[in-house]
């Protein structure tokens, strides 16, 4: 895995690069495309600067999330990657820190809008619990469809809201992690991305290392992770009773 860094001191690095495809580790706090916000700095520009070439976005991550994100390096590759995405050949795996007691494994089949205020469409996410720590849990989420805020909505649907989610989450717990653990972002990380190469069809799988801010919050709960390609990350919890500075529980 290349450790090339983004220019101008931006945090992030290139996970995969060839003549057709670029995959980067998106830092939390950046939008992907300028059309989605009025930010002066967007990930698209940083990716172009990093490789010295025009790049084409083919999917997105929420501003507050981090992790693996793919770009095509030419228009033909962009069309091919879009076909790969729409045909369901891409496997995306996310780590999410949630408030609540999720099942050991669950398939959430719950329709949500494809876009804000749009009609509800079929949406499916597989969730596996990796570790529990008091009132919190670390889960792996694998979306089988691609809807707006799908993982965040589905976690809320099973009463396990994502930490740091101001739209669908719980305010007391978000504030606790901001104040006690300096976590000012969604506790959502796209840790693994697997897809066939858009030109050759060869399998590609990349792993995006856990950012320090999210790793620190997990460590405060006693949770450590080993991220390796091709497997669910094993999680270790220092104590089953770990339950950092308890937050009020009025919201359940």
Catalytic: which of 20, 38, 45, 62? Answer: 62
**Look-up of token digits 């719950």:** 110
DSSP labels, 214-228: HHHHHHHTTEEE---
Token representation of residue 186: 């969604």
Q: How far apart are CA 147 and CA 143, in angstroms?
A: 9
**Look-up of token digits 């104590």:** 239
Cβ–Cβ < 8 Å for 100, 135: yes
- CA-to-CA separations, 139 to 36, 42, 191, 222, in angstroms, rounded: 28, 28, 12, 15
Catalytic-residue membership of 243: no
Q: HSE on the CB side for 154, CA within 13 Å?
A: 27
Compute how many other C-beta atoms are within 10 angstroms of the C-beta atom of residue 101.
13
Q: State the catalytic residues.
A: 62
């Amino acid at each position: 895995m290349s450790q090339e860094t983004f220019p101008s001191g931006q945090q992030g690095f290139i996970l995969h690069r060839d003549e057709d495809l670029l995959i980067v580790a998106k830092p939390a706090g950046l939008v992907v495309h300028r059309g989605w916000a009025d930010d002066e700095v967007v990930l698209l520009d940083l990716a172009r600067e990093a490789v010295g070439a025009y790049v084409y976005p083919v999917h997105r991550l929420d501003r507050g999330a981090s992790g693996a994100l793919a770009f095509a390096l030419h228009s033909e590759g962009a069309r091919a990657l879009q076909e790969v995405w729409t045909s369901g050949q891409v496997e995306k795996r996310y780590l999410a820190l949630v408030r609540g007691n999720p099942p050991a494994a669950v398939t959430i089949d719950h329709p949500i809008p494809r876009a804000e205020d749009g009609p509800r469409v079929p949406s499916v996410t597989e969730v596996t619990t990796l570790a529990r720590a008091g009132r919190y849990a670390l889960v792996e989420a694998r979306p089988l469809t691609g809807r707006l805020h799908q993982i965040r909505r589905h976690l809320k649907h099973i009463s396990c809201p994502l930490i740091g989610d101001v739209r669908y989450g719980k305010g007391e717990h978000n504030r606790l992690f901001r104040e006690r653990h300096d976590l000012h972002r969604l506790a959502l990380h796209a840790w693994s991305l697997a897809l066939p190469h858009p030109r050759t069809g060869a399998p590609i799988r990349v792993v995006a290392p856990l950012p320090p801010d999210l790793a620190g919050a997990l460590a405060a709960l006693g949770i450590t992770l080993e991220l390796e390609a091709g497997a669910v990350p094993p999680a270790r919890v220092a104590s089953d009773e770990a339950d950092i500075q308890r937050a009020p529980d009025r919201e359940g």
